[in-house]
Amino acid sequence: MGTFSRPLNHTDVGILGPRSNSARKYSRGKSINLVFRRCSVGILSGAVASIALTASLRYGLWSLLLGISIGVAYSITAPPGRRAYADNLMAAGALGIPLWGLISVVAIPLLSRQMPEWSAEQMRQHFPALVGWVVYGALLGIIKQGMDDIAEHFFGADSPPETPAVSIKKRIVILGGGFAGMRTAECLERRLRGDFSTGITLVNETNALLFTPMLAEVAGSSLEPSHISTPLRTTLRRTEFIRGVVAEVDLGRRLVILRGDEATSGASARRHVPYDHLVFALGSTSNYLGMTNLEKFAFNFKTLLDAIRIRNRVIEMFERADRESDPNLRSALLTFVIAGGGFAGVEVAGALNDFAHGILADYPNLSSHDLNIILVHSRERILPELSESLATFAQEKMQSRGVSFRLSTRILDAHHGAVLLSDGKIQTRTLVWTAGSTPSPFLKSLPFEKDRRGALLVDGSLAVPGHPGLWAIGDCAAIIDAATGQPCPPTAQFALREAEVLADNILAQIRGRPSRTFHFNSLGALCVVGHQTACAELNVPFARRKTLRFSGLFAWLLWRGIYLAKLPGLERKIRVLMDWTIELFFPRDIVQTIDVS
């Protein structure tokens, strides 16, 4: 395709900063090998911070070596940013929690030939180590930042200043700004540092990445909705972001056509986005298997708006039930049915159960006997992704807290305030659907081969076969793992790794190098089942038993630590931490924010 010119504009200069000064400094800095510099910063900051580990773990030399190794890994993977003290303090401090879980609770007992235990008593014994790890992380973050600043002062910038070229020779367009799309853009930005001959554009229908693992907490009123969404414009530095809905792809002219904005420019004003490489990362939507009544009646559970609607619906039902004198009607209003016993269904059932019981105190006319949270699942047991013992634990725990289960039961239809099941009927005004999902319906318009779910078939390098320059990843792609020959599951964990391989392969193709195939070993799975309880199944490569299974408070702490560390952006991390802290001391918020009556 042709060459696209992009004039240097005011924003480019603003983002990249003054060129000449940093370029001069960088040329001085070139004399110091980059890896050596980051390793040195990591060794020094890890060594100083390991004082906290030595004090809490009691393994003197080992604590020092551990502290240094983690310091080096952190310094290499977290690129220096100028005076980002708070950012590093939070990120490395939060990292202390999963490190505590993996090293103090799991690895150290295993290395001492003991099985890890997570009884309340054991957890109490591990508590000083938790404090030690968090302090170590916080110290590591601050000291590393200080050393990065000192190194920059004496040796110049760590990485080459980004010098914008005026002529774009290749244009990579990414459709979808979820986990897969955003990580692809991030990886491309990193790998194209200093090379402006390739342009990156990301198109998404919302202007933020939704952190779906925390969506159930929004539905359960634990987290503020915007706190789990990261703005794409601010996170991506050199990628051109377009908020728009993809309406069509003109494969012949290599153009993406966006839906026109009728309100401002008329339906005909469709924007055309040219591409040389096009990435489909459009995710998935709820699938009602052709049951149109259900589609009209049920609440989806995929987007931020879905979670906001569900939260408001629960409050609306409480308000109506509070003034309802007919006990049958009151019971129907306070019956919440969740379809699907996978991760999303279990997490939302647990969150709604906590929420509903938590706000009962605000409704003096209602009692817990009026409440029904029912999970309907077509198979014999919930959480088929986890082992049977963990699924049984999850079910028993939830039952003891008031959730009922209708297993081996299908939802067939819904009407007149009732849900029809394969073995009966439930009077309810609220059904949340998590029982099926399907790759983005937009893919139907594309003349490519798909699997039976409708996901785009790709080859081992994540390319659409027979269509050079077209790629697909994430939930909308059917990907076979190159090493195991197994289909990759539609999870964020896989989408993120696929994006990294994809970014490499696109650049390899542009530069005429061979591409690599996709392989990833799942790290495991974590599922929150309600109040301070989770189930975890982790694949630990160094353990004799490859899979570690545990549940309860420790798994829940690990869940929070890992996902807080993974949530993009310091500001979001702080907001979520504050929400979690507020939740410890105050009742859940029952203010209605939208009308869902």
Ligand X SMILES: Cc1cc2nc3c(=O)[nH]c(=O)nc-3n(C[C@H](O)[C@H](O)[C@H](O)COP(=O)(O)OP(=O)(O)OC[C@H]3O[C@@H](n4cnc5c(N)ncnc54)[C@H](O)[C@@H]3O)c2cc1C
Task: Answer whether 347's CB lies under 8 Å from 341's CB.
Answer: no
Two structure tokens written together for 66: 């551990």
Task: List beta partners, residue 208.
Answer: 231
- Rounded distance, CA 500 to CA 214, Å? 23
**Residue with the closest Cβ to ligand X?**
178
The structure tokens 């420019």 sit at 265
Two structure tokens written together for 370: 């009026």
- Please, what is the minimum distance in Å from the beta carbon of residue 177 to ligand X? 5
- Please, what is the minimum distance in Å from the beta carbon of residue 251 to ligand X? 16
Residue 513 neighbours by CB distance under 10 Å = 11
- Please, what is the minimum distance in Å from the beta carbon of residue 231 to ligand X? 13
Task: Answer whether 311's CB lies under 8 Å from 356's CB.
Answer: no
CA 194 to chain centre: 29
- Please, what is the minimum distance in Å from the beta carbon of residue 303 to ligand X? 7
312 versus 437: smaller Cβ distance to ligand X: 437
Nearest CA to 553 out of 129, 128, 224, 127 is that of 127
- Rounded distance, CA 57 to CA 126, Å? 9
145 versus 440: smaller Cβ distance to ligand X: 440
Task: Answer whether 201's CB lies under 8 Å from 174's CB.
Answer: yes
Q: Where are the alpha helices (DSSP H) in 267-407?
A: 292-297, 304-322, 327-333, 343-359, 388-400
45 versus 230: smaller Cβ distance to ligand X: 230
- Please, what is the minimum distance in Å from the beta carbon of residue 208 to ligand X? 8
- Please, what is the minimum distance in Å from the beta carbon of residue 194 to ligand X? 27
46 versus 350: smaller Cβ distance to ligand X: 350
331 versus 493: smaller Cβ distance to ligand X: 493
- Please, what is the minimum distance in Å from the beta carbon of residue 337 to ligand X? 17
Nearest CA to 429 out of 411, 448, 416, 442 is that of 416
69 versus 491: smaller Cβ distance to ligand X: 491
- Rounded distance, CA 253 to CA 236, Å? 28
3-state secondary structure of 435: coil
Q: What is the DSSP letter of 595?
A: -
- Please, what is the minimum distance in Å from the beta carbon of residue 436 to ligand X? 12
3 versus 445: smaller Cβ distance to ligand X: 445
What totals of helices (H) and strands (E) does the chain contain, helices first? 19, 27
- Rounded distance, CA 52 to CA 43, Å? 15
294 versus 528: smaller Cβ distance to ligand X: 528
43 versus 308: smaller Cβ distance to ligand X: 308
> H/E element holding 527?
strand 524-530
- Please, what is the minimum distance in Å from the beta carbon of residue 15 to ligand X? 23
Write out the DSSP string of 477-510: EE-B-TTT-PBPPSSHHHHHHHHHHHHHHHHHHH
Radius of gyration of the chain (CA): 26
68 versus 403: smaller Cβ distance to ligand X: 403
> H/E element holding 552?
strand 547-552
68 versus 506: smaller Cβ distance to ligand X: 506
Nearest CA to 91 out of 70, 74, 76 is that of 74
- Please, what is the minimum distance in Å from the beta carbon of residue 183 to ligand X? 8
Q: Where are the alpha helices (DSSP H) in 298-342?
A: 304-322, 327-333
- Please, what is the minimum distance in Å from the beta carbon of residue 343 to ligand X? 6
Task: List beta partners, residue 206.
Answer: none
> What ranges make up the beta strands (E) of 133-183?
167-168, 170-175
104 versus 221: smaller Cβ distance to ligand X: 221
- Please, what is the minimum distance in Å from the beta carbon of residue 477 to ligand X? 8
- Please, what is the minimum distance in Å from the beta carbon of residue 348 to ligand X? 7
> H/E element holding 374?
strand 372-376
Task: Answer whether 523's CB lies under 8 Å from 563's CB.
Answer: no
243 versus 320: smaller Cβ distance to ligand X: 243
- Please, what is the minimum distance in Å from the beta carbon of residue 426 to ligand X? 22
157 versus 246: smaller Cβ distance to ligand X: 246
- Rounded distance, CA 303 to CA 215, Å? 8
Contact set with ligand X (CB under 6 A): 176-181, 203-206, 212-213, 215, 245-246, 281-283, 301-302, 343-344, 440, 442, 474-476, 490-493, 495
Task: Answer whether 434's CB lies under 8 Å from 340's CB.
Answer: yes
